[in-house]
Structure formats: structure tokens, C-alpha cells
């Protein structure tokens, strides 16, 4: 190859590319340093491939187009919106509960402006962030007081560190659960300095097992609700009110770690009954711990409600500051709780909108999708998910696509803009309209059609 025919000599210089009319948009969007690096990387890659004998275009337009792809990928955030077509309503891996429009607006307002996070307007001086959401929690749960921290595991550590450090906490062996990400309740409890006392067996724990374990060093009895698994068959466990009576007769506290945070009766909407916060308090639990982003349908938060004197003690513990909720969480949680106070959670909170979607509506949607994409409509099941109502499902209608390589097709869906997360069963790619949010249908069908 002589010099005149050598494509390496035809490669434009970086400065030449920067002065090209097409580079103006890249410079505006990404900044000069990033564009320079992208052009150099693109040219380096092109040189290597040309030296290996590849036949590739070396004109400025092609190089700038490749650099643009490089920049788009480099600047693409790792935390991205996706279309959840899996049918899992509270999908832990996909961010759990999507937020209502009112909750989004409240978070936006708190983020965009100065606010009264720790300012008392009436007194004209320093206030406390701990008052935010407190009154709403009292109203919707019936508790004397409430406290918000950054997640439920943190709330449990705070509770045990404050009320049981160096003392014993009695819990059934059947409740020593592992939660998401490999975190285990016993390990979380140990971090608090409390000593775990296990009673009963995996499937059967009697009230007498709890009573036999009580000593002078016992601080409290803890019930951890089985929100992410189910034990069936030969089982036994005492009721919460029986545990409350036992604890109070011995001068102990009863703490109920509900996890899922149900404020509505799930049985009224075709699901199994999930214990509610109100029921736990009525049964005599001194404190109840639960999450804000599961069945409550709000932002990530750990919520503790119960006796006012105990909540006051928790607020004063040094750890409370380390795990406190920020302004975005508090504003979003307050807006979500307002839906419950107004009795509009079913119509305004997205997860409850999904749970209560009529089957005939889902069938009509799936048929519309099938007509557009050439797929079929089949019956299926949606799941609540997210450590709530284990095994519980809701009847749905699915768009089923028969494609030659389902795994490859699913990967292409994930690589689309926006990414689409579907599921595969019996060699078909399935899309559940229950979890596709309003306004996402156009993008979903556009992505599917582009790959068919």
C-alpha cells in the first residue's frame, strides 16, 4: 500500500473535526474536553481496525457520528427510567413503587426551592425536620406519634439500639428472615447491640416458648412479619394480641416489624389479607416498623409509629441523625400520606391503581398491543412483589410474542431507548399491561415494532 492509498493518511486531525459544522452540537451538549477525548478515542479505534485490514469510512461525518455514539453511551446515566412490562407491581430491582403525580410535584417543589425543612415560620427561627409527616402518620395510622428515617432496616436498628442495647430481644426462629440484597434480620439486629434470643422452631412457635425465654435482661419481644416468604402446612404462631398481653404482663415492649406497610385491606381488592399498621397498633404493639416504598406506595423511607413516649426517646438517640430522612423523602412521603387521609389512595397512588385495574381493561389493552405487534393475547398472572404478599397474584392479560430467540429479543428490548423489561415463559416474550404506566404505551409499542 503506497502513501496515496493509505487510509490512515486520510484520517482528519482532531482540530479539523472540532471545526467541522457537525461538531457544534456535540460541543454544546457535552463540552469541549469530553468531545476532544471522544474524538481521540474514536480515531485510535479506527486506526487499529484499519491496520488490521478492515475497510472503514474515514470521512469526517462518519468519524463524528461514531464519536457521538461514544459520547451518548459515556454520558448515559446508570440510573435510568425503564418500562416495566413484567407484571411485578412493586419491583425491587426497578425502583419499587412509582410515585403519584402529587408526590412527584411535592418532591420537585422541595428540590427546586428553599423550604421549611428546619424552619419555624411562626417563631421565625430554627425548627425541626421531625415534625414533617408526623401529624399525617398519626392521622392515617391512629398512632400516638411517628418518626421517619431513611429505610426500614435503619429504623429497626435505631429502635433496638435505643430500647434494647445490651439486653435480650425474643424472636421466633420462623421469623429470622433474609431481606433483599442478602441482608438478614439477625445480622441487622446484632448491629444494634441487642442480644437475639431465638424461640420455637421454623414452623411452630407457641406463646409458651416466648414466656419461657423471658428473663430479667429481656427488653422486648419482636415479631417480624413474613412479608417476603410463606410457610404453609403444619404451622403455629401466637396472635399479635396474645404477644402484646404477654409482653405487657411482664413489663416488656412488643415491636412489630411489618415491613410491607399496608394501610388498606388488600383482601378488598382480590388479594390475601396483608396485616395493616392499624391492626398491629390495635392489637397492642408498642411500636410498628414498616417501609414507605412498598404497599404504602411512597418514596423509600423507614417509618416507626406507636407510643409517643417511645418515639420521643428514639428521636433523641444520636443514631437518629445519622439515618434521618432528607427533604425530598419527607415532602414525597407527606404527599403520599395525604392521599390516604383524603381516602383517594386507590385512585391516585400508582401501585393501588395497578392492583385495582379491572381485568377487562387489561384485556382490551393487550388486544390493542397484539393488533399493533402481531402477537397473541394469553391469560396470565401479575405479582405484587417487593417483599409484600408472597405468592399472591392477580389475573391479567398478556401480550405474547413468538420470536426465534427470546433471550436475544429480551436483550434488545433492554438495550432500547427507553429500555423495556419484559419476561420470558415457555419460549415466548411476555408483556403485562398492568405495570406499564400511563403515557408509556407509545414508547413500548414503538420499541417492539422496531425489533419485529
Which CATH number is 83-92+352-451 given? 3.90.1150.180
Give 391-405 pLDDT, tens digit per residue.
789 999 999 999 999
- The edge-to-edge listing of strands for the beta sheet with 195-199 is 145-149, 302-306, 287-291, 253-259, 218-224, 168-172, 195-199
Which CATH number is 99-344 given? 3.40.640.10
CA distance 98 to 91: 10
Give 297-324 pLDDT, tens digit per residue.
999 999 999 999 999 999 999 999 999 9
DSSP string of 329-380? HHHHHHHHHHHHHTT-HHHHSHHHHHHT--HHHHHHHHHHHHHHHT-EEEEE
Which pLDDT does position 227 carry in this prediction?
Answer: 56
Which pLDDT does position 1 carry in this prediction?
Answer: 46
SS3 call for 256:
strand
Give 28-64 pLDDT, tens digit per residue.
999 999 999 999 999 999 999 989 888 888 899 999 9
Which pLDDT does position 259 carry in this prediction?
Answer: 87
Alpha-carbon torsion 441, 442, 443, 446, what sign?
positive
> pTM for the complete prediction?
0.89
Q: Is the pLDDT of residue 232 over 70?
A: no
Give 139-183 pLDDT, tens digit per residue.
999 999 999 999 998 999 999 999 999 999 999 988 877 665 556
Best CA proximity match to 310, nearest among 219, 187, 412:
219
Which pLDDT does position 2 carry in this prediction?
Answer: 44
How is residue 290 annotated by DSSP? Answer: E
Q: Where are the alpha helices (DSSP H) in 143-276?
A: 152-163, 185-190, 207-213, 240-249
Domain boundaries, the chain: 3-74, 83-92+352-451, 99-344
Amino acid at each position: 500500500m503506497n502513501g496515496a492509498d493509505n487510509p490512515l493518511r486520510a484520517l482528519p486531525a482532531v482540530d479539523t473535526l472540532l471545526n467541522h459544522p457537525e461538531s457544534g452540537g456535540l460541543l454544546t451538549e457535552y463540552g469541549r474536553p469530553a468531545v476532544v477525548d471522544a474524538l481521540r478515542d474514536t480515531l485510535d479505534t479506527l486506526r487499529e481496525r484499519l491496520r488490521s485490514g478492515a475497510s472503514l469510512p474515514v470521512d469526517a461525518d462518519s468519524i463524528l457520528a461514531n464519536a457521538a455514539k461514544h459520547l451518548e453511551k459515556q454520558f448515559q446515566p446508570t440510573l435510568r427510567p425503564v418500562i416495566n412490562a413484567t407484571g411485578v407491581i412493586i419491583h425491587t430491582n426497578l425502583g419499587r413503587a412509582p410515585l403519584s403525580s402529587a408526590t412527584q410535584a411535592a418532591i420537585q417543589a422541595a428540590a427546586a426551592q428553599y423550604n421549611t425543612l428546619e424552619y419555624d415560620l411562626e417563631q421565625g427561627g430554627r425548627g425541626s425536620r421531625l415534625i414533617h409527616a408526623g401529624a399525617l402518620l398519626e392521622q392515617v395510622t391512629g398512632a400516638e406519634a411517628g418518626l421517619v428515617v431513611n429505610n426500614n432496616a435503619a429504623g429497626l436498628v435505631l429502635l433496638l439500639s435505643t430500647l434494647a442495647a445490651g439486653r435480650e430481644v425474643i424472636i421466633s426462629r420462623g421469623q429470622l428472615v433474609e431481606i433483599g440484597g442478602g441482608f438478614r434480620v439477625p445480622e441487622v439486629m446484632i448491629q444494634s447491640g441487642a442480644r437475639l434470643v431465638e424461640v420455637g422452631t421454623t414452623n411452630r412457635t407457641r406463646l409458651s416458648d416466648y414466656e419461657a425465654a423471658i428473663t430479667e435482661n429481656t427488653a422486648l419481644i419482636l415479631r417480624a412479619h413474613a412479608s417476603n416468604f410463606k410457610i404453609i402446612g403444619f404451622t403455629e404462631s401466637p396472635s399479635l394480641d396474645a404477644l402484646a398481653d404477654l409482653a405487657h404482663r411482664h413489663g416488656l415492649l412488643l415491636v412489630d416489624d411489618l415491613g410491607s406497610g399496608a394501610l388498606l385491606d388488600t383482601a378488598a381488592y382480590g388479594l390475601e389479607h396483608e396485616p395493616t399498621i392499624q391492626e398491629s397498633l390495635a392489637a397492642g404493639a408498642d411500636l410498628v416498623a414498616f417501609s414507605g416504598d412498598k404497599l404504602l406506595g411512597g418514596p423509600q423511607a423507614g417509618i416507626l409509629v406507636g407510643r409517643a413516649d417511645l418515639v420521643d426517646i428514639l428521636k433523641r438517640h444520636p443514631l437518629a441523625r445519622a439515618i434521618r430522612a432528607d427533604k425530598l423523602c419527607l415532602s414525597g412521603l407527606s404527599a403520599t400520606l395525604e392521599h390516604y387521609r383524603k381516602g383517594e389512595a386507590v385512585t391516585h397512588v400508582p401501585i393501588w391503581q395497578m392492583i385495582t385495574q379491572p381485568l377487562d381493561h387489561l384485556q382490551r389493552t393487550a388486544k390493542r398491543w397484539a393488533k399493533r405487534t402481531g402477537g397473541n393475547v394469553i391469560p396470565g398472572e401479575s405479582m405484587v412483589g417487593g417483599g409484600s404478599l408472597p405468592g399472591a397474584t392477580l389475573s391479567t392479560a398478556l401480550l405474547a410474542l413468538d420470536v426465534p430467540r427470546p433471550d436475544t429479543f429480551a436483550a434488545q428490548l433492554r438495550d432500547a431507548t427507553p429500555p423495556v423489561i419484559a419476561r420470558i415463559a415457555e419460549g415466548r416474550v411476555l408483556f403485562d399491561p398492568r405495570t406499564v404506566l400511563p403515557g408509556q404505551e407509545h414508547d413500548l409499542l414503538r420499541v417492539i415494532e422496531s425489533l419485529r
